[in-house]
Chains A and B, each alone.
Chain A
Amino acid sequence: MKFSCNKQDLMEAINIVQKAVMTKATIPILEGIYIETNDSLKMVGNCYDMGIECSINADIQQKGSIVLNSRMFGDIVRRLPNSEVFIQVKPNFNVIIECDNSYFEIKGLSAEGYPMLPTVEEEQKISVSQTSLRNMIRKTIYAISNDENRKILTGSLIEANDGDLSMVALDGFRLAVAKVMIKEDTNFKAVIPGKNLTEIYKILEQSDKDVKITLSKNQALFELEQCRIISKLLEGEYMNYKNFLPEQFETNIVVDVSEIIESIERASLITNDDKRYPVKIVIEDNKMLITSNTDVGISKEELLININGNNMTIGFNPKYLLDSLKVADEEKVEIFFSSSVGPCIIKPIEGDSFVFMILPVRIK
């Protein structure tokens, strides 16, 4: 195998496939990146839970394949000058990496036995812009559970239904739903491990270019221009999240998002790390009071708001409110309170691009 390519292109591809390479594996080959030259240069990282394949432009002089230790290869390429990189595999699997005045010869591994990405049967396929998918992940991923006893909740539900694509995460204390419209009229449901979505989020770009999502029985395939990402799915039935969403509300208010974020952040300054203190929200006379009372001291914030309905006193874990409000990406949102011990819902003033539900803290 022999090829040359641009250092930056190579580095970018390594960064992407590395996300699917195990840092500690039982066999060395699993700590490696698979490199193949055929019509183009292809690199693969695979850790069974997730596999990523990336193609880049290269001048291919000789076809072949090799596996290189991911960390070593990455560290070398990262420090090479921004120039053309020449890579050549010798018959004894030693790999020569050359760039300007630098020369490396490192041990590679036979590509035989490297777990290649499975082919995903194209059952159902939809496409959505990279920006949209990115936003959906960002708006929901924080609500994923880390409770291994409820494995299914450590992933996000991705659901296509009559032209809507929604992503759902819930951990029992809060629930986040993000929605976009799609052209396809398919119906499917799958639960993707949160860990994989976090990596996919990093790979996605702010761009109008499409990402195609294909689902099979136990895998999801995300296809971008230069790379394919395969994620395994979590087994089991996801909760019927719609049942949790209340329909009747005692009070609803409209608030300025950045104002309320700043107020809650200030109110949660006087908490210490060991103990979690709630913030108390009192809604009355077109005002919202956000107070906190901890062993360090007390604080009070006052916001002018529009109120519809009854007065309300309710407590929240400030982190839960902030997590949701920070990803709202709206100037103003509407907050609906079902009762002082019932869930509250945060929605955009117009449209249904997201629904956040947060359960309160019972305060004395």
Chain B
Amino acid sequence: MPKRIIFHIDVNSAFLSWEAVNQLKKGSNIDLRTIPSIVAGDQSRRHGVVLARSIPAKKFGIITGEPVIKAVRKCPNVTIVPPSHGIYTQCSNAMTELIMTITPDIEKYSIDECFVDVSGLRLKYGNDFLSIARTIKSRIKKELGFTVNIGISENKILAKMASDFKKPDRIHTLFRDEMKEKMWPLPVSELFMVGKASYKKFKLMGIETIGDLALSDASLLEERFGKYGRMIWEYANGIDDSPVQTEESEAKDLSNEITIGFDITDKETARLYILSLCETVGMRLRKSGLYANVIGINIKNSEFESYSKRKKIQTPTQNTNEIFAVATELFEQVWKRDPIRLIGVATTQLQSEPPIQLNMFDSLSKQSSNVKKLDESIDKIREKYGNKYLVRGSLLNLNKDCNS
């Protein structure tokens, strides 16, 4: 079994499906999906392009992206609905929320598709990923009223290719050992990231299918197309290491704050709250694989006045204790000894893992790698059993207060 299992979930004719669901909800007795219909811009002026089409509309040869006028020529009876983006966002969010109940490792790739890393569900479901996919698919259909295609593979590119196979309402796998049979015979224009322009260039090079591309010389492609050449060759060969980026990993900054039920007036209590905030911030940073360059503290006093201080640190960090050390240092510098109502810890200028300059005093970084392991272990335990079960001694009483 491969290391990672990635799902690509793609809503079938998203805008149209969502439009249909919405109209049915409003009491319409026609399901747009069962008649030739399109979602298109400004129909009164007969302008705009086809944004989505129903499967019966597809049978008339209507293609997404073509002018409405052309579509009408192909099928004079086509039902045209204007897009209602608010509803799409709602539907999209509803889908994300539904998947979130199964796993948080989800990357919203666009409004109607997402990647989900289900590798972590092994503990619970073993290797039966098909049944997870079936669950997701049927729950979306039953609870939200629209259908999706799910592509299953070991990385994002193959999962995305797989979800594009036969539609609608299907689950397809495309693991690397199925690639030759399922993906390579497809025309190269079907490959993700191959547009019209590069398709033409490939054709001139005698590359017709994805297989042709996969078997051509990578360095030659790299020479001709630069980085894109290397990437597209890797895609054709089903190579893609990119992680499923949860929302937090794209965050520019990451912070946490708490409004306390009473006013904090002493340093020790404040420190405990700061520690507790640092724990969450640290955990989120580690979860998204990010390191903070700047750490800040925010305070709002009982008069609702806010003030803050931040500091750029020498080496970016995601370690709870290091964040805590800086946060308390800042707190002591900035706190005006007024009653505190709200306290917050912020991290900004986030970056991916920095190269680590080794230091003579850290007994050659052994210590820092141990600290990292400790943080990771704590995170794992908390992720599995919840935050309540592994608590810092100093925070025992604090958490009791919070829970009550």
A363 CB–B CB distance under 8 Å: yes
Instruction: Summarize A's interface: helix, strand, loop or mixed.
Output: loop
Contact B355–A172 (Cβ < 8 Å): no
CB of A203 to closest CB in B, whole Å: 32
Contact A360–B358 (Cβ < 8 Å): yes
A219-256, CB < 8 A from B? 244
CB of A315 to closest CB in B, whole Å: 6
Contact B353–A361 (Cβ < 8 Å): no
Contact B361–A172 (Cβ < 8 Å): yes
Contact B357–A361 (Cβ < 8 Å): yes
A342 CB–B CB distance under 8 Å: yes
Listed in ascending order, the chain A residues whose CB lies under 8 Å from chain B are 170, 172-173, 175, 244, 275-278, 315, 317, 341-343, 359-364
B328-369, CB < 8 A from A? 351, 353, 355-361, 364-365
CA distance A342 to B358 in the complex (A): 8
| Closest A residue by C-beta to B357 | A361
Contact A359-B359, Cβ < 8 Å, known A341-B364, A341-B365, A342-B364:
yes
CA distance A359 to B355 in the complex (A): 13
Contact A170–B360 (Cβ < 8 Å): yes
- Kindly list chain B residues whose C-beta atoms are within 8 Å of the C-beta of A172: 359-361
Partner of A362, one of B351, B355, B360, B361: B355
- Kindly list chain A residues whose C-beta atoms are within 8 Å of the C-beta of B355: 276-278, 315, 361-364
- Kindly list chain A residues whose C-beta atoms are within 8 Å of the C-beta of B360: 170, 172-173, 175, 244, 343, 359
Query: Once A and B bind, how many residue pairs between them come within 8 Å at the CB atom?
Result: 37
CB of B384 to closest CB in A, whole Å: 27
B347-404, CB < 8 A from A? 351, 353, 355-361, 364-365
CA distance A361 to B353 in the complex (A): 12
CB of B228 to closest CB in A, whole Å: 15
What are the 3 tightest A-B residue pairs by CB atom distance, in nearest-first order? A359-B358, A362-B356, A361-B355
- Kindly list chain A residues whose C-beta atoms are within 8 Å of the C-beta of B364: 341-342
- Kindly list chain A residues whose C-beta atoms are within 8 Å of the C-beta of B356: 361-362
CA distance A361 to B358 in the complex (A): 6
Contact A317–B358 (Cβ < 8 Å): no
Contact B359–A362 (Cβ < 8 Å): no
CA distance A220 to B356 in the complex (A): 38
Contact B359–A173 (Cβ < 8 Å): yes
CA distance A269 to B77 in the complex (A): 64
- Kindly list chain B residues whose C-beta atoms are within 8 Å of the C-beta of A364: 353, 355
Q: Mark B198-218, 1 if CB is under 8 A from A, else 0.
A: 000000000000000000000
A-B contact pairs, 21 of them (CB 8 A): A170-B360, A172-B360, A172-B361, A173-B357, A173-B358, A175-B360, A275-B351, A277-B355, A278-B355, A317-B357, A341-B358, A341-B364, A341-B365, A359-B357, A359-B358, A359-B359, A359-B360, A361-B356, A361-B358, A362-B355, A363-B355
CB of A267 to closest CB in B, whole Å: 14
CA distance A360 to B355 in the complex (A): 10
**Best-buried of B351, B358, B361, B364 by chain A (most CB within 10 Å):** B358
CA distance A244 to B358 in the complex (A): 13
CB of B313 to closest CB in A, whole Å: 13
CA distance A38 to B364 in the complex (A): 59
| Closest B residue by C-beta to A147 | B314
CA distance A164 to B264 in the complex (A): 61
CA distance A325 to B355 in the complex (A): 22
CA distance A364 to B357 in the complex (A): 12
- Kindly list chain B residues whose C-beta atoms are within 8 Å of the C-beta of A341: 358, 364-365
- Kindly list chain B residues whose C-beta atoms are within 8 Å of the C-beta of A343: 360
- Kindly list chain B residues whose C-beta atoms are within 8 Å of the C-beta of A175: 360
| Closest B residue by C-beta to A241 | B360
CA distance A175 to B360 in the complex (A): 9
Q: Knowing that A342-B364, A360-B358 touch, tell me 20 more A-B residue pairs with CB under 8 angstroms.
A: A172-B359, A173-B357, A173-B358, A173-B360, A175-B360, A244-B360, A315-B355, A317-B357, A341-B358, A341-B364, A341-B365, A359-B359, A361-B355, A361-B357, A361-B358, A362-B356, A362-B358, A362-B365, A364-B353, A364-B355
CA distance A317 to B355 in the complex (A): 10
CA distance A315 to B356 in the complex (A): 10
CB of B368 to closest CB in A, whole Å: 10
- Kindly list chain A residues whose C-beta atoms are within 8 Å of the C-beta of B357: 173, 317, 359, 361
CA distance A251 to B283 in the complex (A): 40
| Closest B residue by C-beta to A150 | B361
CB of A311 to closest CB in B, whole Å: 20
- Kindly list chain B residues whose C-beta atoms are within 8 Å of the C-beta of A170: 360
| Closest A residue by C-beta to B369 | A362
CA distance A175 to B356 in the complex (A): 18
CA distance A172 to B360 in the complex (A): 5
CA distance A277 to B354 in the complex (A): 9
CA distance A277 to B356 in the complex (A): 10
CB of B251 to closest CB in A, whole Å: 18
CB of A31 to closest CB in B, whole Å: 32
- Kindly list chain B residues whose C-beta atoms are within 8 Å of the C-beta of A244: 360
- Kindly list chain A residues whose C-beta atoms are within 8 Å of the C-beta of B361: 172
| Closest B residue by C-beta to A298 | B227
